[in-house]
């Protein structure tokens, strides 16, 4: 499995665009670097191959490459960031995709409904669970034209702390996922339960970003201090790797947000 990551050279809390962020709680730079490096090495040890995009000064959230796009049917779908603070990241991602040989499906302009990439769109087998309500706009999925409408599962997010679907839901394979149910509207909870078997994460571990996990076959890389979900995953035959992510949780992200899948193998 191939992923895109971005080193946290310029990562910090410079603005507040989600409830986790507090500009008075700056990141400890060396701790963030250490946590990122451990995540990077852990993913490599699980068999990942990792490409890197050069970080850009002035874009502290560029470290969260999950929002750089969505790899879909061998092409990239570009994001339209909701907040101007992140919109300037797009040209750098576009350039990187282009130079790496990826074709893109879409052009993004002011009229494009908001869409925050793989942060709001997660595959479970062929099904694509798409989040909306805070960052991505439901109309993006409806209007895109190239997304297979029969395979989209619409998931409405209702808790501002869980503003991207990857903060509260994580497919482990095509049949099983973990989630934090109360992050979703009652209708969406019912819809999701019909599509996939779901293991609930406790409120405490949801806050520790337990659902923000990277799955590589039977390996699950998730934030540390999530003992309950870790033992449930182990009972299901997964090998859990815990990584300290506190410096990134300050910005509302963790393991999964720091990666973008660049291939797809269903």
Element (H, E) at 232: helix 227-235
Which one of residues 3, 40, 59, 64 is an interface residue with ligand ARG (CB under 6 A)? Answer: 64
Tokens, residue 209 = 């970003």
Q: Is 164 in the site for ligand ARG (CB under 6 A)?
A: yes
- Report in angstroms the alpha-carbon separations of 75 from 71, 103, 105, 107, 136: 6, 5, 6, 13, 19
Q: Which is nearer to ligand ARG, 138 or 218 (CB)?
A: 138
Among 5, 6, 11, 18, binds ligand ARG (CB under 6 A): 18
Catalytic one among 164, 168, 170, 243? 164
CB of 247 to ligand ARG, least distance (A): 12
Nearer to ligand ARG, 223 or 253 (CB): 253
We find the least distance from the C-beta atom of residue 110 to ligand ARG, in angstroms, to be 19
Near ligand ARG by CB under 6 A: residue from 3, 36, 61, 141 = 61
164 is catalytic: yes
Q: Are 108 and 79 in contact (CB under 8 A)?
A: yes
Question: Which residue is listed with tokens 């609930």?
Answer: 200
How far apart, in Å, do the first and last CA atoms of the chain sit?
11
Q: Considering only CA atoms, which of 141, 72, 147, 58 is closest in space to residue 104?
A: 72
Question: At closest approach, how far in Å is the CB of 150 from ligand ARG?
Answer: 25
State the pairing for strand pair 49-52/2-5: parallel
| Rg from Cα positions in the chain | 17
CA–CA gap between residue 213 and residue 223 (Å, rounded): 7
| Residue range at the interface with ligand ARG (CB under 6 A); choices 142-150, 154-162, 164-172, 190-198 | 164-172
CA distance 255 to 216: 12
> x/- string (CB under 6 A) for ligand ARG, residues 88-127?
-------------------------------x--------
Residues near ligand ARG (CB under 6 A): 17-18, 21, 61, 64, 66-67, 86, 119, 164, 166-167, 251-253, 257
List, by residue number, the catalytic residues.
164, 257
């Amino acid at each position: 499995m191939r992923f895109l990551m971005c080193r946290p050279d310029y990562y910090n809390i410079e603005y507040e665009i989600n409830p986790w962020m507090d500009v008075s709680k700056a990141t400890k730079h060396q701790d963030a670097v250490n946590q990122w490096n451990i995540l990077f090495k852990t993913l490599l040890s699980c068999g990942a191959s990792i490409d890197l995009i050069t970080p850009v000064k002035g874009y502290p959230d560029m470290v969260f490459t999950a929002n750089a796009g969505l790899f879909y049917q061998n092409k990239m779908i570009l994001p339209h960031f909701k907040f101007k603070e992140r919109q300037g990241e797009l040209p750098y991602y576009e350039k990187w995709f282009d130079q790496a040989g990826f074709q893109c499906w879409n052009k993004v302009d002011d009229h494009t409904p908001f869409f925050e990439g793989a942060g709001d769109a997660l595959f479970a087998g062929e099904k694509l669970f798409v989040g909306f309500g805070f960052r991505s706009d439901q109309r993006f999925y409806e209007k895109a034209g190239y997304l297979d409408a029969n395979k989209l599962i619409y998931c409405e997010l209702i808790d501002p702390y869980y503003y991207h679907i990857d903060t509260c839901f994580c497919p482990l394979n095509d049949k099983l996922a973990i989630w934090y149910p109360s992050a979703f509207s009652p209708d969406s909870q019912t819809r999701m339960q019909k599509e996939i078997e779901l293991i609930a994460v406790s409120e405490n571990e949801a806050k520790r970003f337990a659902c923000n996990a990277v799955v590589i076959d039977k390996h699950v890389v998730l934030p540390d201090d999530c003992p309950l979900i870790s033992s449930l995953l182990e009972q299901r035959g997964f090998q859990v790797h815990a990584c300290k992510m506190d410096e990134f949780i300050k910005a509302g992200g963790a393991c999964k947000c720091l990666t973008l899948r660049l291939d797809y193998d269903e």
